Amino acid sequence: MPQASEKLTPSEVIHRFIDEVKETKKLVRIVTSYDLESLTASAMLGKMLKHLEIPFEVLPDYERIPLTPDAKVIGINIPASECDECLILQTSTTESVSKVRYNVVLRYTSLLPGVLDLISEFTPVSKEMKALVLASILSKYLPRVKAPALNERDRNFLEVLSNDGVVEISKNLTLIGVSYLPPQTALLYSLDLFIPSKYLSENIENALSKVSKDFNIPSDKLREEVYLTKFDFFSKDIHMVTYMLLWLTDVKGFHGLLTSLFNNALLRYEYMRFLSDIKYLRDVVDLIINSRGQTIKNVKNIPVVNVEPTKASSNVLYRILSALNIINQNKGFLAFESFGKYYVPLSALNTSKRQSLIQKGAAVVGGYLELSDLSEVSSKSST
- Whether 46 and 104 map to the same domain: the answer is yes
- Mean pLDDT over 53-81 rounds to 89
**Residue 18: CATH number of its domain:** 3.90.1640.30
One domain for residues 141 and 241: yes
Domain that residue 108 falls in:
10-119
Same domain (yes/no): 81, 136: no
150 vs 183 pLDDT, higher one: 150
Secondary structure string (H, E, C) spanning the chain: CCCCCCCCCHHHHHHHHHHHHHHHCCEEEEEECCCHHHHHHHHHHHHHHHHCCCCEEEEECCCCCCCCCCEEEEEECCCHHHCCCCEEEEECCCCEEEEECCEEEEEECCHHHHHHHHHCCCCCCCHHHHHHHHHHHHHHHCCCCCCCCCCHHHHHHHHHHHHCCCEEEECCCCCCCCCCCCHHHHHHCCCCCCCCHHHCCCCHHHHHHHHHHHCCCCHHHHHCCEEEECCCCCCCEHHHHHHHHHHHHHHCHHHHHHHHHHCHHHHHHHHHHHHHHHHHHHHHHHHHHHCCCCCCEEECCEEEEECCCCCCCHHHHHHHHHHCCCCCHHHCCCEEEECCEEEEEHHHCCHHHHHHHHHCCCEEECCEEEECCCHHHCCCCCC
Among 199-213, 235-249, 298-312, 361-375, the range scoring the smallest mean pLDDT is 199-213
Domain end among 75, 100, 119: 119
Is 131 found in the same domain as 196?
yes
Higher pLDDT, 223 or 229: 229
Quick: pLDDT tens for 114-167: 999 999 999 999 999 999 999 999 999 988 888 888 999 999 999 999 999 999
**What average pLDDT score do residues 30-43 get?**
96
The reply to whether 16 and 38 lie within a common domain is: yes
147/242 same-domain check:
yes
* Residue 23 shares a structural domain with residue 112: yes
User: Are 213 and 103 within one domain?
Assistant: no
Query: Domain for residue 267, yes or no?
Result: no
Residues 139 and 241 in one domain: yes
- The pLDDT of residue 380 is 47
What pTM, to 2 d.p., does this model score?
A: 0.92
Asked if the structure places residue 268 within a domain, the reply is no
Rounded Cα gap, residues 61 and 99, in angstroms: 21
pLDDT value of position 178: 58
In the chain, how many domains are there? 2
Residue 325 forms part of a structural domain: no
64 band by pLDDT with thresholds 50, 70 and 90: confident
Strands of the sheet with 302-306, listed across from one edge: 297-299, 302-306, 335-338, 341-345, 368-371, 363-365
Do 69 and 178 lie in one domain? The reply is no
| Most trustworthy range by pLDDT among 77-86, 178-187, 293-302 | 293-302
Least confidently predicted of 59-63, 147-151, 344-348: 147-151
Please indicate, yes or no, if residue 155 is contained in any of the structural domains: yes
> Which of 89-103, 151-165, 207-221, 336-350 comes out lowest in average pLDDT?
207-221
Given 184, 211, 246, the domain boundary residue is: 246
